[in-house]
Structure 1
């Protein structure tokens, strides 16, 4: 496992257990570098992951601060501006997965294009229903190259991103396309809703820390059980000294 991933996990644990409190500054990169006996570049990577996850934010010239957690009525919000999954966006809730299908096959033309692979490179074909606190949340149809990491049914019952992280594959960027549609027969049956019910669809191509596409997914979300948020940040010019 990469050192920055271990540092990220350690700081994240301290944030979630209130060792570092909301609104308070984190130690500087220099202090973290001395604490973990590493470089500022490694610390910067770990802090970037925490920022992408919405746990911290930065102030120009003042460092990094712990972000206040969303109020109880906003716990189900999934940030559209950060490349994270349900396990992280709902980190204080019970996330379970129901595996509907798992196999390996050759990719379609669309999958080849989005994953940047050739027609003879096999992919995993995964269909899962995700549940939040026992309630149906989404239907995920995911494909990823089989050479990324070995997968099995036990792994797919949990967080794929956590597992890939342990193998050194980090989700750092994602391209998302959103649109509304009606639930087809398969989606309706999987989510236990009426066929033709409105659903929000997110097509995502996920990229690792080296810029390689490792996942193409199409996820359908139940209208009444999911909400999304887009945070917009404007970087201001540095103030003159």
Structure 2
């Protein structure tokens, strides 16, 4: 394990055990770097992971504070404002995938519009169930241009974003997400093992890479037992 991840895990454990209490000022970066015998650059990577999870926040000129948690014991909380996938957001748990469908075809009009592609540019269509610690977590329907990267089922069973970033150097830097509720269709109900017509939360997403190009159009569906999301709002300007 990388050193910055070890430090991240250690600090997170201290936060969850109330060694660093909500609302209190944490030790300075110099103090933490000295404690763990690491550079400030390495420490910053650890703190960035904690910021991503909404566990801490920084105030310019003041320091780093432990953020109050809505439900510190809930494994369901997913940060909705971050360009990440389930493997990252639930990195402390085992995330696996069950592939329901994988193939290539030509895009429909909505997919062409959202991905800024032409009618003759083929796309991958991916349907998979995401499992968290071997329990059903979400049902994903993903459309991705085939020119982005070669995909196969071994990749789809793991983390697509991890493969794109590590192998293809394509990183998700931005995303537009629309969140809404819908009733489970027959297909969604079977995938999520819920009753047809059950209430689902849907996150519809267009993902963009570091060049600002759309590379994914997806809909992720969650049943009501896995529909707890959090978004942190930061205000840097006042008027």
- What's the TM-score, normalizing by structure 2? 0.78
- Cross-structure match for 2:9: 16
C-alpha contact 1:76 1:89 (8 A) present in aligned 2 = no
- Cross-structure match for 1:223: 224
C-alpha contact 2:8 2:50 (8 A) present in aligned 1 = no
- Cross-structure match for 1:116: 116
Measured at CA, do residues 154 and 51 of structure 1 come closer, stay the same or move farther in structure 2, by a change above 3 Å? Answer: same
- Cross-structure match for 2:36: none
In 1, the alpha carbon distance for the partners of 2:188 and 2:208 equals: 26
C-alpha contact 1:21 1:66 (8 A) present in aligned 2 = no
SS state at 2:73 partner: helix
Measured at CA, do residues 48 and 127 of structure 1 come closer, stay the same or move farther in structure 2, by a change above 3 Å? Answer: same
In 1, the alpha carbon distance for the partners of 2:68 and 2:10 equals: 13
Render the CA deviation track for 1:113-137: whole Å, top value 9, x for unaligned: 1111111111111000011122211
Measured at CA, do residues 48 and 91 of structure 1 come closer, stay the same or move farther in structure 2, by a change above 3 Å? Answer: closer
Measured at CA, do residues 185 and 19 of structure 1 come closer, stay the same or move farther in structure 2, by a change above 3 Å? Answer: closer
Provide structure 2 residue ranges, at least 5 long, that are not aligned to the other structure: 16-25, 31-38
SS state at 1:74 partner: coil
Measured at CA, do residues 234 and 154 of structure 1 come closer, stay the same or move farther in structure 2, by a change above 3 Å? Answer: same
- Cross-structure match for 1:208: 209
Measured at CA, do residues 141 and 11 of structure 1 come closer, stay the same or move farther in structure 2, by a change above 3 Å? Answer: same
Deviation at 1:205, TM superposition (A): 0.4
- Cross-structure match for 2:21: none
Deviation at 1:11, TM superposition (A): 3.2
- Cross-structure match for 1:171: 172
C-alpha contact 2:8 2:46 (8 A) present in aligned 1 = no
How many residue pairs get aligned? The number is: 220
SS state at 2:92 partner: coil
In 1, the alpha carbon distance for the partners of 2:122 and 2:64 equals: 42
In 2, the alpha carbon distance for the partners of 1:16 and 1:109 equals: 45
In terms of mean alpha carbon deviation, does 9-18 or 107-116 score higher?
A: 9-18
Deviation at 1:46, TM superposition (A): 10
Deviation at 1:44, TM superposition (A): 9.2
Measured at CA, do residues 19 and 96 of structure 1 come closer, stay the same or move farther in structure 2, by a change above 3 Å? Answer: closer
- What's the TM-score, normalizing by structure 1? 0.77
Measured at CA, do residues 108 and 90 of structure 1 come closer, stay the same or move farther in structure 2, by a change above 3 Å? Answer: same
In 2, the alpha carbon distance for the partners of 1:47 and 1:118 equals: 42
Provide structure 1 residue ranges, at least 5 long, that are not aligned to the other structure: 1-8, 28-34
- Cross-structure match for 2:155: 155
In 2, the alpha carbon distance for the partners of 1:147 and 1:56 equals: 39
Measured at CA, do residues 66 and 210 of structure 1 come closer, stay the same or move farther in structure 2, by a change above 3 Å? Answer: farther
Measured at CA, do residues 112 and 145 of structure 1 come closer, stay the same or move farther in structure 2, by a change above 3 Å? Answer: same
In 2, the alpha carbon distance for the partners of 1:44 and 1:17 equals: 14
C-alpha contact 2:83 2:174 (8 A) present in aligned 1 = yes
Deviation at 1:73, TM superposition (A): 2.1
C-alpha contact 1:20 1:26 (8 A) present in aligned 2 = no
In 1, the alpha carbon distance for the partners of 2:229 and 2:46 equals: 25
